[in-house]
Structure 1
Amino acid sequence: MPPPPLDAPAIEVRGLRKAFGATPALGGVDLTVAPGTVCGLLGPNGAGKTTMVRILATLSLPDGGTARVAGHDVVGHPARVRGSIALTGQYASVDEVISGRDNLEMFARLYRMRGAAVRRRAEELLERFGLTDAAHRPVRTYSGGMRRRLDLAVGLVVPPVVMFLDEPTTGLDPQSRVGLWESVRELVRAGTTVLLTTQYLEEADQLADRIAVLTDPDGTGGQVVAEGTPFELKSALGGESIDLTVRHAEQLGRAAEILTREGGRAATLADDPRRATLAVGAGGLPGTAVLAAVLGELDNAGIAVEDLALRRPTLDEVFLNLMNRPSRDREMA
Structure 2
Amino acid sequence: MDLTGIGGIWPASLTPFDRDGAIDEAALRAHLRHLAATRGVRALVVNGHAGETSSLDRTERKGVVQVAREVAGDATGVVAGIVAEDPRAACDLARDAKEAGADAILLFPPLLFAGGAEARPEMMLRLFHAVAEAAALPIVLFQLSRPSGLGYTPELLARLLREVPSIIAVKEGSDLVASYEDNLEVLKACGRKVSMLTSNNSWLLASLSLGGDGILSGIGSVASDILTEMHEAVARGDLAAARRANDRLRPLVRVFYRRPALDMHNRMKTALNLMGLMPNPAPRAPLLPIEAGEREEIRRALVAAGLLPANEMAA
TM-score (norm 2): 0.41
Larger of the two Rg values belongs to structure: 1
More strand by share: 1
More helix by share: 2
TM-score (norm 1): 0.40
